[in-house]
Structure 1
Amino acid sequence: MLRMNRNIISGMELVVMIAFLTLLSCNTAENERHKPRVLISSDIGGTDPDDFQSMIHLLMYADQFEIEGLVSSPFGDGSKKDFLDIIEHYESDYNQLLKHAPELPSPNSLRNITKQGEKNAAPFKGFATATEGSEWIIQCAKKESDQPLWVLVWGGIEDLAQALHDAPEIKDNIRVYWIGGPNKKWSINSYSYIAEHHPDLWMIEANATYRGWFMDEDSPKDVKGDAYYDNYIQGRGAMGKDFIKYYDGRIKMGDTPSLAYLVSGDPNDPMGESWGGSFEKIDHSSRNIFIDGSTVEDTVAAYGTIEWRFTGPELSVSEDSVVFELEVQNQIWPGYYLGEGMYGVKYSSKKPEKGTYKTRSAIAGLDGLEGGYVSTDPWPGKASPDDYQLGNNWYSDKLDPALFIKDQQGAKTISKHRREFLLDWAERWKWLEK
């Protein structure tokens, strides 16, 4: 009887031990699941050096994520080498950082997931041909996982548009946080393709909110953009030494809110509080189509799609051929032949503005056309028949005027957390003190 009791007790102990180990395993798996899967698409090395700052920030928080891809999607001279250069600085600091954050990924593992994406803006239709970067997005999105892949777009959205065109089924597996505004202006063709053909994408479109990361209004003095480097970065590691090269160390990092969104708050709730901002659902993306021109009497929504279409002679060239150009705000946009004597060009203002345009072309009827427009906030503005109709999971900058900083819609949803998120980063810079 005593032996039987001992056997029963041993059996019970075994059951308890198995249950404990199972619970431990489940908890471990739960923790792993809660580590967001992240792929970054960046125009690092392109037209704006702030991505170098954001990349340094990413690497210092890399233990918080499963980083699955670094895709170079620049306009201009940037390439994946710019990613690799920052990873080299990270490698110099790696052993020192590892003492405080043992889950940081190795430099070589990051090099292995760095890919080259599209270097040119998409044509009028919004996509072109697959790149190493767009194919990597597809591969990562199709990886078997019970967690979504967060695609954080820090620049042009061409590689994402190409991936969605080539493998639309990946929409079910990804969530996108895009720093729009100026990037939307340069990527308007790809953006229009996504909004028109993939409106059911889960998307945060931050056209102005992100500016709360670096706008100094109401900022405490010690974390103002021109003071932070001297107070918290200077003299700390190879990455600290590199940081001064961009904007003389002044904090910009306009893309970092996409990452900060995953660090605090509930990323499944874009309307909640987060270091990366708070957003609201939108059901349409503003678009205005003007046939044969517009004038300054025509008002459009800032960040909306302006599409000019001009009639002219029929040409024996392929559709989407560049046959004219449009100058607006001292910048040049390519104009395309759309077929059957119709020509088109798209543009998006990066802020409220009054603008004028002029065309140039070897085609007489398309040369020297002039016009204008006025873009106003808030985005996305009143609904119009030309708008792109969006699905149930498209979020953008909050409309409340009390959350604007100057004309930057929603920026206060980030700036209110400025001291908190910058001092959190300052604690990590301490790890690199000698």
Structure 2
Amino acid sequence: MYKHIPIFLLCLQVAAVMAQQKVPAKPRILISTDIGGTDPDDNQSMAHLLMYSDKFNIEGLVSSPSYGNGSKEEILRMIDLYEKDLPHLKKHQKDLLSPEHLRSVTKQGVRGNAPYRGYRSATEGSNWIIQCAKKTSDQPLWILGWGGLEDLAQALHDAPEIQDRIRIYWIGGPNKKWSANSYAYIADNFPDLWFIEVNSSYYGFFSKKEALDSIKPTNYYSKHIEGAGYLGKDFISYYQGEVKMGDTPSLLYMMDGNPDDPTRESWGGSFENFTRSSRIVFNRVSNITDSVAFCTLVEFNLKGPKLNIPTDSVCFIMETAYGNSVQRWPGYYLGDGKYGLKYSPKQAETLAYRFTSAIPDLNFGEGKLVVTNLWPGKVNSTDYILGKNWYTDRGGAHLYEGKIQGGKTVSKWTHEILADWGKRWNWLKK
């Protein structure tokens, strides 16, 4: 009998800790999304958000496409589908948000990435971020970033006082590539933000490893979504119905546990504090002997002729291979014969690139860069120094999902998450 007492006491201690966690019933959230752009996973995540809208106080749906043709019209189209399905959903969950409210908080943000300085001019979206952040509330405004950081950077530039009223969960990775200038502005000027930078863990959500047959991303549509209302009919348009939803972990993080503690385990991942964001500055074209961690902010500061063109104007390009295509990254004139370009590699690889320009003296040549698979990597003297409330993917080797750093902090919950969502899809089949 007595040998069971330590286990009993341990259970009491665990229960006490869990009871102490403050879990907001409906956290305040604002979504910044590039929906309608090049990656249709935002549409999948938007369907998930709408079907779980009873879990949140949604204060903003901002279209922020740093790359591609995303627009608020695509958000409104998704809301229209949701409105058609709402009568069936409300039979099971009466607290789902009204389409009228969702349309009223849908705003257009910046289109295209910011120039070298990291911001451009105010938009409907950036102004809405400021307005929501300044509301009187006993909760912070959580900004869930599914795309670029341009509207957030603009809002912070225009109203820096909001930094103490907001918290950010940002899906970085590829988005950091397109939003490197705005990221650099935020990290350099607002190191005391509460910021969760998720560069890789989110991949664990749609990893195919160790998935049970009934909830595998590849067959989830046929088993759970097919025939489920207007949202279900629309879902097949994205990846032929295969579940990706790389932005959904931001929602899952807010749905499960205590969002004030990023180090806890949650459906949306578990993160560790980091006090420096990797940044390296090259005053030359890099070569095969140079290496950086993936998602490092790589900055090229190069010298050339003094030109009579506006500062912060695009005057040269860095080209990189992407599959069978070429991606192009803008380089800027910084004045006084100085030229700059910021870039962030999203994965481990040997990156080959070349600089080109219509101005012959700005053809800086070709280079290479070895990108390693552990973020944030080695310490550099040029790193951004961060405050105490920045968090990122856990680096332990045991938490890698294949090559995905921190992936297991999300993938371990996939069965539970998709099974729960499957119940809501079933509501639309009756």
Do they fold alike, i.e. is TM over 0.5?
yes
Mapped contact 1:33–1:146 kept (Cα < 8 A): no
What corresponds to 2:14 in structure 1? none
User: TM-score of the superposition, structure 2-length normalised?
Assistant: 0.92
Q: In the TM superposition, what whole-angstrom CA distance separates every residue of 1:252-310 from its partner, at most 9, and x where no partner exists? A: 00000000001112111101010000000011010110002110110111100111111
SS at 2:264 equivalent: coil
Mapped contact 1:311–1:341 kept (Cα < 8 A): yes
Select 2:56's aligned residue among 47, 52, 65: 65
Distance 1:170 1:204 in 2: 17
Distance 2:92 2:28 in 1: 22
Q: Report 1:19-418 matches (<5 A).
A: 34-74=25-65, 75-329=67-321, 330-367=326-363, 369-418=365-414
Select 1:420's aligned residue among 404, 407, 416: 416
SS at 1:143 equivalent: coil
Q: In the TM superposition, what whole-angstrom CA distance separates every residue of 1:213-251 from its partner, at most 9, and x where no partner exists? A: 101111111111111111111111110111111101000
Gaps of 5+ in 1: 1-30
Distance 2:359 2:199 in 1: 36
Q: In the TM superposition, what whole-angstrom CA distance separates every residue of 1:157-212 from its partner, at most 9, and x where no partner exists? A: 11001111111111111110000000001100000111101111101100000001
Distance 2:313 2:333 in 1: 5
Q: In the TM superposition, what whole-angstrom CA distance separates every residue of 1:33-63 from its partner, at most 9, and x where no partner exists? A: 5310010000000110010000000001000
Mapped contact 1:293–1:309 kept (Cα < 8 A): no
Distance 2:390 2:23 in 1: 27
Distance 2:98 2:350 in 1: 49
Q: In the TM superposition, what whole-angstrom CA distance separates every residue of 1:76-97 from its partner, at most 9, and x where no partner exists? A: 2221000011100000011111
What corresponds to 1:22 in structure 2? none
What corresponds to 1:26 in structure 2? none
The residue type equivalent to 1:338 in the other structure is L
The residue type equivalent to 1:38 in the other structure is I
Q: Which has the larger radius of gyration?
A: 1
The residue type equivalent to 1:44 in the other structure is I
Distance 1:181 1:292 in 2: 25
Distance 2:158 2:78 in 1: 31
Q: Aligned-pair distance for 1:155?
A: 0.6
**How big is the alpha-carbon RMSD for the aligned residues of Structure 1 and Structure 2?**
1.2
Distance 1:33 1:328 in 2: 44
What corresponds to 1:6 in structure 2? none
SS at 1:405 equivalent: coil
Q: Aligned-pair distance for 1:391?
A: 0.6
Would you say how many aligned residue pairs link Structure 1 and Structure 2? 404
Q: In the TM superposition, what whole-angstrom CA distance separates every residue of 1:67-112 from its partner, at most 9, and x where no partner exists? A: 0000001122221000011100000011111111111111111001
Distance 1:56 1:166 in 2: 32
Distance 2:80 2:261 in 1: 35
Gaps of 5+ in 2: 1-21
Q: Aligned-pair distance for 1:364?
A: 2.3
The residue type equivalent to 1:431 in the other structure is W
